[in-house]
Amino acid sequence: MGFRLFSDALKHGEAIPDLYSNTRLGRNLSPPLKWEDPPDGTQSFAITADDPDVPVP
């Protein structure tokens, strides 16, 4: 059973705005997230973001 997760702050195919990025100009804030139709009984969500293009030090 799926549900929709989205953010008005992020646009598909576009760069993450500086406000939400961990760059020299960024503020490294979490973007606001919204969801629709979570499965019955859902009490919380765990979100992991991964960028495979960024080298690991």
- Residue 31: partners with Cβ closer than 8 Å, 6 or more residues away: 7, 9, 10, 16, 20
Give the pLDDT confidence score for residue 36 in this predicted structure: 95
pTM (2 decimals)? 0.65
CB 1 within 8 A of CB 39: yes
Give the pLDDT confidence score for residue 25 in this predicted structure: 85
pLDDT at 26 over 80: yes
pLDDT at 1 over 80: no
Q: What is the pLDDT of residues 30-46, one digit of tens each?
A: 999 999 999 999 999 99
